[in-house]
């Protein structure tokens, strides 16, 4: 799946991560350097060699002045002490290191011991002391500029280093920013690709499901065509046989009774054909979305009675008196479309009669629950196995052992679809004592 | 050149003051003036030795090692002198002058050190008394703003 382009992208990503990490490393190193530099500059601020050195110079001059003006011995001693303390300071750690760095420690060493050897407190020779101090003043004066230059050299070197670190910091910030930008671009690109991939997959899924639907429809049409052809054949054969009998030569005279009998047979066959085409047309309209439920309040008892009457009119060969009604005395008002509900009831009644033995009763009762009006139609046929029950509502399914009976295999499918359009449902459950109970439930009218 | 002359004049003046002032009187190590008992308190070495001594080792800005300092706490000295104020102006033998908030002496154990590494401080080094901060005990003290307050060769404190 990973092509060369993919590999290049991965390499780019890895490279950018490495660049980011190395710039982070650089920034960490700079931080350490800056902390060190800051510490050095703090210490250096404390050292302040220019001040220390100039103080020494001043104290040397003070002593020289006191000696030349013949000041009181106590005053000379104080100036002497202070000058010695300054020279002591110059010989101590940080100051000595600085002077060594500037190459001045040699030129300045020995002066303190020279002074102490001429200590006025111990009766040192004032004239020799004056000469020594004069020489010290001259030595300090000639070194002062060197001390200053050394201190500023050090400061300038530190400032250079600081500037260098600042430039490096700028480079690492810019580098990190660029690498981060690159990373962001790659990540956004990946995200975009993922999204396109997801869209493509969705599109493919939709195409596949469309194709599947088309296949199903096409398969349905084929099966429907087969079924219709098959179901058309039987009534047509019945009609043909009746016509044949009536026109057969040598079969004796055609009596009025025979004509009447054959006409009845033919009419029933035609009625079956009409019913079949009605169902097919209804199914077709349903599939096209051409059926709309116009819901209004209707007493389901009336619709049931009407459907039973229709059966009585339509069914000549079967005894519709087998239908036993058990209707309550109060109205059972459901919110439904009367035409669609009539279609459902007619289908369910037709099935019940068709699958019952000729002498078996069909019981019809109407009741209500909290939310629904329910019409139960019980037959005493052979019933269904649980497996059959599962696919009873599938399109073109025919009850086993009943393939020879007339029917489209669409009745229950149609009934359920029409019920659902009205917010209702059609269910099948085994009847205790054999046969099936088909139940149509429709929502009750909500009384305002 | 002007600067140098200025410094020279200041030094001369200081020298004159040092001779004329009683700070140079025999045995007096530290003179407190200003808002102290009777406006002036003079402390001799004996006075200081009679007080509680403390000690600690700390790094300094002018030495490489960590010397061990011994001496009297600054706050004890101010209490001894009955000082009432918010700051002291410390003056050194060489006329180095710096203002120190008295708060410092209560926040930190600031020492008026009389000896370093067991050796008494002398005017030829940084003595006889040196204001020493416990620099290693508080990170904030390792700073030039506090290093300025380490007055060596201290001779006078003016409380205000």
pLDDT, position A251:
65
Q: Is B63 on the interface with A (CB under 8 A)?
A: yes
pLDDT of the residue at B11: 43
CA-CA distance, A92 to A114, in Å (whole number)?
Answer: 17
Range scoring the smallest mean pLDDT among A165-174, A340-349, A372-381: A165-174
pLDDT band at B13 (very low <50, low <70, confident <90, very high): very low
For residues B116-120, average pLDDT: 92
Whether A29 is covered by a domain: the verdict is yes
pLDDT digits (tens, 9 = 90+) for A114-133: 888 888 888 888 888 888 88
Phi, psi of A321 (to 5 degrees): -70, -5
Specify the number of domains making up chain A.
2
| A180-201 confidence digits (pLDDT tens) | 888 888 889 889 999 999 999 9
Token output for A17: 């991560």
Which of residues A190, A225, A256 is at a domain's end? A190
CA-based nearest residue to A318, from A370, A366, A365, A355: A355
Q: Which CATH number does the domain housing residue A405 bear?
A: 3.30.565.10
B98 touches chain A (CB under 8 A): no
Residue to mutate among B59, B62, B66, with most A CBs inside 10 A, is B62
Residue ranges making up the domain that contains A351: 293-443
Question: Would you say residue A251 lies in a domain?
Answer: no
Residue B153 near chain A (CB below 8 Å): yes
Spatial CB neighbours of A416, under 8 Å, sequence gap ≥ 6: A393, A425, A426
Q: Does the residue A99 lie in any domain?
A: yes
Show residues of chain B in contact with A72, CB under 8 Å: 19
B124 closest CB neighbour out of A43, A61, A85: A85
Closest-CA residue of chain A to B19: A75
Q: Do residue A43 and residue B126 have CB atoms under 8 angstroms apart?
A: no
Chain A contacts in chain B segment 133-152 (CB below 8 A)? 142-144, 147, 152
Residues of B in contact with A95 (CB under 8 A): 62
Q: Name the helix (H) or strand (E) containing A365.
A: strand A362-368
More confident residue, B69 or A269: B69
Q: How many Cβ contacts (< 8 angstroms) between chains A and B? A: 73
Residue pair B92/B151 in contact (Cβ under 8 Å)? The answer is yes
CA A164 to chain B, closest CA, distance in angstroms equals 26
Q: How far apart are CA A311 and CA A275, in angstroms?
A: 12
Question: By the CB < 8 Å criterion, does A141 face chain B?
Answer: no
pLDDT at B1 over 50: no
ipTM of the complex, rounded to two decimals: 0.74
- Smallest CA–CA distance, residue A51 to chain B, in Å, is 12
In a domain, A43, yes or no: yes
Question: Confidence band (pLDDT; 50, 70, 90) for A404?
Answer: low
Same-domain status, A303 and A427:
yes
Q: Which of A50, A52, A55, A58 best tests the B interface by mutation, with the highest count of B CBs <10 A?
A: A58
Instruction: Determine which of A223-232, A250-259, B7-16 has the lowest per-residue pLDDT on average.
Output: B7-16
User: A380: helix, coil or strand?
Assistant: coil
| DSSP codes of every residue in A32-85 | HHHHHHHHHHHHHHHH-HHHHHHHHHHHHHHHHHHHHTT--HHHHHHHHHHHHH
pLDDT range class, residue A46, cuts 50, 70, 90: low
Contacts of A85 in chain B (CB under 8 A): 123-126, 152-153
More confident residue, B108 or A285: B108
Q: What does the pLDDT average to over A48-56?
A: 85
CB contact under 8 A, B94 and A74: no
* Structure-token pair, residue A295: 């819901």
B11 contacts in chain A (CB < 8 Å): 58-59, 61-62, 65
In a domain, A264, yes or no: no
Could B8 and A66 be called an inter-chain contact, meaning their C-beta atoms sit closer than 8 Å?
no
Query: What does the angle CA A34 – CA A36 – CA A41 come to, to the nearest 5 degrees?
Result: 90
pLDDT at B15: 41
Question: Which of B65, B94, B144 is the mutation pick for testing A, counting most A CBs within 10 A?
Answer: B94
DSSP β-bridge partners for residue B69: B56, B116
Instruction: State the best of A41, A45, A81, A93 to mutate against chain B, taking most chain B CBs within 10 Å.
Output: A81
Instruction: Please say which residue of A159, A190, A221 terminates a domain.
Output: A190
Q: Pick the residue from chain A with its C-alpha nearest to B6.
A: A58
A42 to B142: CB separation less than 8 angstroms, yes or no: yes
Asked whether the predicted pLDDT for residue A67 surpasses 70, the reply is yes
Percent of all residues in chain A with a pLDDT value above 90, rounded to a whole number: 13
Mean pLDDT of A246-267: 81
The label of the residue with tokens 């205790």 reads A432
How far, in whole angstroms, is CA A118 from its chain's centroid? 93
Q: Supply the pLDDT for residue A99.
A: 85
Using CA coordinates, name the residue in chain B closest to A88.
B125
pLDDT of residue A109: 80
- For the stretch B66-85, pLDDT in tens is 999 999 999 999 999 999 99
Mean pLDDT, rounded, for A280-306:
85
Q: Is residue A177 part of a domain?
A: yes
Q: Is the pLDDT of residue A431 over 80?
A: yes
Domain segments of chain B as ranges = 26-159
User: Final residue of a domain: which of A172, A190, A208?
Assistant: A190
Q: Cβ of A82 and B123 within 8 Å?
A: yes
Q: Are strands A362-368 and A372-378 parallel, antiparallel or unpaired?
A: antiparallel
Whether A272 is in a domain gets the answer no
Q: How confident is the model at residue B114 (pLDDT cuts 50, 70, 90)?
A: very high
Classify residue A174 by burial, with Cβ atoms within 10 Å: 0-12, 13-18, 19+. exposed
Cβ-Cβ contacts under 8 Å, B143 against chain A: 42
Pairs from B17-23 (Cβ < 8 Å, separation ≥ 24): B18/A75, B18/A78, B18/B93, B19/A71, B19/A72, B19/A74, B19/A75, B23/B155, B23/B156
A249 or A96, higher pLDDT: A96
Asked if the structure places residue A55 within a domain, the reply is yes
Of chain A residues 92-111, which have a CB less than 8 A from chain B?
A: 92-95, 97
Query: What's residue B26's pLDDT?
Result: 55
A384's CB contacts (< 8 A; 6+ apart) are: A392, A399, A428, A430, A436
Q: Does A62 touch chain B (CB under 8 A)?
A: yes
The answer to whether the Cβ–Cβ distance between B144 and A42 falls below 8 Å is yes
Query: How many Å apart are CA A53 and CA A435, to the nearest integer?
Result: 123
Task: Kindly tell me the sign of the dihedral angle through the C-alpha atoms of B87, B88, B90, B96.
Answer: positive
Let me know how long chain B is: 160
Same domain, A178 and A319: no
pLDDT at B56 over 50: yes
User: Does residue A140 have a pLDDT over 70?
Assistant: yes
Q: What CATH number is given for B26-159 in this structure? A: 3.90.420.10
State the residue for tokens 């200025």. Answer: B6
Asked if residue B132 has pLDDT above 90, the reply is yes
Closest CB to B124: pick one of A74, A81, A95.
A81
User: Of all residues in chain A, what percent carry a pLDDT higher than 70?
Assistant: 93
What residues of chain B lie within 8 A of the CB of A54, using their CB?
A: 7
* Whether residue B19 has pLDDT greater than 60: no
Average pLDDT over residues A253-268: 84
- Taking residues A418-423, report their average pLDDT: 90
CA distance B6 to chain A (A): 11
Among B7, B19, B147, the residue with its CB nearest the CB of A46 is B147
Does the pLDDT of residue A363 top 60, yes or no? yes
> Testing the interface with A: which of B3, B10, B11 to mutate, by most A Cβ within 10 A?
B11
- Which helix (H) or strand (E) covers residue B68, if one does? strand B68-73
Band the pLDDT of B20: cuts 50, 70, 90: very low
**In this structure, are A177 and A301 located in the same domain?**
no
Mean pLDDT of B7-11: 44
Residue A439, helix vs strand vs coil: strand
Task: Judge whether B124 and A81 are in contact, CB under 8 Å.
Answer: yes
Residues of B in contact with A46 (CB under 8 A): 61, 144, 147
Please give the average per-residue pLDDT across A336-357, as a whole number.
86
């Amino acid at each position: 799946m990973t092509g060369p382009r993919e590999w290049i992208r991965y390499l780019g990503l890895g490279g950018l991560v490495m660049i980011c990490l190395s710039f982070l490393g650089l920034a960490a190193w700079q931080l350490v350097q800056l902390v060190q530099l800051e510490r050095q500059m703090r210490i250096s601020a404390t050292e302040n060699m220019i001040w220390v050195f100039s103080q020494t110079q001043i104290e040397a001059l003070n002593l020289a002045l006191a000696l030349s003006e013949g000041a009181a011995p106590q005053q000379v001693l104080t100036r002497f002490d202070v000058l010695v303390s300054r020279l002591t300071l110059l010989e101590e750690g940080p100051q000595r290191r600085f002077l060594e760095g500037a190459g001045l420690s040699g030129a300045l060493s020995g002066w303190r011991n020279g002074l102490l050897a001429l200590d006025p407190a111990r009766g040192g020779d004032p004239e020799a002391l004056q000469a020594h101090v004069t020489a010290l003043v001259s030595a300090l004066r000639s070194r002062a500029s060197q001390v200053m230059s050394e201190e500023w050299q050090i400061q300038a070197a530190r400032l250079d280093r600081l500037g260098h670190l600042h430039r490096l910091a700028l480079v690492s910030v810019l580098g990190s920013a660029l690498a981060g930008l690159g990373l962001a671009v790659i990540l956004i690109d990946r995200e975009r690709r993922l999204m396109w991939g997801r869209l493509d997959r969705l599109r493919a899924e939709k195409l596949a499901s469309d194709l599947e639907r088309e296949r199903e429809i096409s398969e349905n049409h084929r099966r429907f065509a087969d079924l219709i052809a098959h179901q058309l054949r039987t009534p047509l054969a019945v009609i043909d046989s009746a016509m044949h009998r009536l026109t057969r030569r040598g079969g004796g005279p055609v009596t009025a009774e025979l004509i009447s009998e054959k006409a009845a047979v033919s009419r029933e066959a035609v009625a079956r054909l009409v019913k079949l085409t009605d169902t097919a047309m209804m199914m077709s309209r349903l599939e096209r979305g051409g059926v709309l439920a116009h819901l209004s309040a209707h007493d389901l008892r009336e619709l049931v009675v009407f459907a039973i009457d229709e059966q009585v009119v339509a069914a000549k060969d079967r005894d519709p008196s087998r239908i036993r009604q058990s209707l309550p005395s109060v109205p059972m008002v459901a919110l439904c479309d009367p035409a669609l509900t009539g279609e459902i009831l007619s289908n369910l009644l037709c099935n019940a009669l068709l699958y019952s033995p000729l002498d078996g009763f069909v019981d019809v009762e109407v009741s209500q629950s909290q939310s629904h009006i329910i019409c139960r139609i019980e037959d005493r046929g052979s019933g269904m196995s649980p497996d059959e029950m599962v696919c009873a509502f599938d399109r073109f399914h025919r009850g086993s052992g009943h393939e020879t009976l007339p029917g489209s295999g669409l009745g229950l499918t149609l009934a359920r679809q029409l019920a659902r359009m009205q917010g209702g449902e059609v269910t099948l459950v085994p009847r205790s004592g054999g046969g099936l109970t088909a139940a149509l439930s429709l929502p009750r009218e909500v009384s305002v | 050149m002007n600067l140098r002359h200025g410094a020279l004049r200041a030094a001369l003046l200081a020298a004159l003051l040092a001779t004329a002032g009683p700070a140079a009187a025999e045995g007096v190590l530290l003179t407190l003036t200003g808002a102290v008992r009777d406006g002036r308190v003079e402390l001799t070495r004996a006075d200081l030795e009679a007080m509680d001594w403390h000690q600690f080792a700390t790094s300094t800005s002018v030495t490489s090692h960590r010397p061990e300092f011994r001496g009297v706490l600054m706050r004890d000295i101010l209490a001894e002198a009955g000082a009432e104020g918010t700051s002291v102006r410390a003056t050194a033998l060489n006329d180095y002058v710096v203002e120190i908030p008295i708060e410092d002496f209560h926040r930190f154990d600031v020492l008026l050190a009389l000896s370093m590494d067991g050796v008494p401080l002398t005017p030829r080094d940084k003595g006889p008394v040196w204001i020493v901060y416990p620099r290693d005990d508080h990170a904030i003290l390792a700073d030039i703003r506090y290093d300025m307050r380490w007055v060596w060769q201290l001779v006078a404190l003016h409380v205000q």
